[in-house]
Structure 1
Amino acid sequence: MDVGAVAVLAGIAAFGGMFAVLVGAYGLRQARRVSETGVRVQALVKRYPGADRAESALLRPLLQFVTEDDRVMEVVCPVPSTRRQPFSDGDDVHVSYDPADPRNVVVHGRERLGPERVFIAGGALVVLFSVTLLVVVIAGR
């Protein structure tokens, strides 16, 4: 494979890696912003209407809360139920919501920032691999 083709492939991979880094950083920033500056309220955990118990265990529950301007919001929970911390129908959880877009919520104590960190780390590794590949190919010319 000639140097030009390798350079193009490395550039495309580096672009994809940088995109992954930016997506992860944006997700972390949004979660932190909503947690710190959002309105904190209690939300009621509800299972999907019409879903039986087996189905509702697989689906993310609904969160119902009242905004500052007295609107009742019902949003899909941004995090799934786990064995360690299950969401049961009728539970109360603390959430923060963005007043500009109340559908954007963060469940306190269950932020799950791991996927964003994986995007950042994976993207950085792809960029590093791309640059290393490019340097090795150019140096071997």
Structure 2
Amino acid sequence: MQIVFAAFTLAGGLIAALAGVYGLRQTRRIARSGHFAIALVKPVPPGAERVLLAFETADGRLMEIPSPVPLAEGRSIRLAYDPGDPRDVVVDGHRRTGVDGGFVVAGAMLTAIGIALALPVF
């Protein structure tokens, strides 16, 4: 039975660590090589939780997406967006690397616990 707990803990740890690494990589990639735009922070629409960001892409498309971070409405902010998918944005000054770093740390800890649980079985 202990090997089952070890396997689930190990798998959960690996998934959490990979999710954190992927998030950090995406944030870094978009911030480094994405296109920049100035976005207007619009009010929260009915039934939503976050304000909307309205901006124009380099090819002239108008985008209106929910903000990935809490922001005050009625101001302008600078953001970087992925030209391949302009809905994927990084707001300057609000990169959320702490959340992704937390996933990496928690995943590493769960992976270590999973290995420690599996060692006595073998």
TM-score (norm 2): 0.92
> Over alpha carbons, which structure has the higher Rg?
1
Q: Of the candidates 107, 127, 134, which is equivalent to residue 91 of structure 2?
A: 107
Aligned positions of 1:11-22 closer than 5 A = 11-22=7-18
The residue that corresponds to 1:72 in the other structure is 62
Q: In structure 2, what is the Cα distance between the partners aligned to 1:118 and 1:95?
A: 23
| Counterpart residue identity of residue 66, structure 2 | V
| Counterpart residue identity of residue 104, structure 1 | D
Aligned positions of 1:113-128 closer than 5 A = 113-128=97-112
SS in 1 for 2:80: strand
Following TM superposition, by how much is the alpha carbon of 1:6 offset from its aligned partner in structure 2, in angstroms? 1.0
Alignment coverage as a number of residue pairs: 122
Q: In structure 2, what is the Cα distance between the partners aligned to 1:33 and 1:61?
A: 24
The residue that corresponds to 1:84 in the other structure is none
The residue that corresponds to 2:19 in the other structure is 23
Following TM superposition, by how much is the alpha carbon of 1:17 offset from its aligned partner in structure 2, in angstroms? 0.4
Q: In structure 2, what is the Cα distance between the partners aligned to 1:49 and 1:9?
A: 44
Following TM superposition, by how much is the alpha carbon of 1:72 offset from its aligned partner in structure 2, in angstroms? 0.7
| Counterpart residue identity of residue 123, structure 1 | G
Residues 50 and 138 from structure 1, CA distance in 2 versus in 1: closer, same or farther, beyond 3 angstroms?
closer
CA RMSD of aligned residues (A): 1.7
- Which ranges of structure 1 fall in alignment gaps of 5 or more residues? 82-86
Q: Of the candidates 3, 7, 22, which is equivalent to residue 7 of structure 1?
A: 3
Deviations 1:40-60 (A, max 9, x none): 111111012458xxxx8xx32
Q: In structure 1, what is the Cα distance between the partners aligned to 2:5 and 2:45?
A: 48
TM-score (norm 1): 0.80
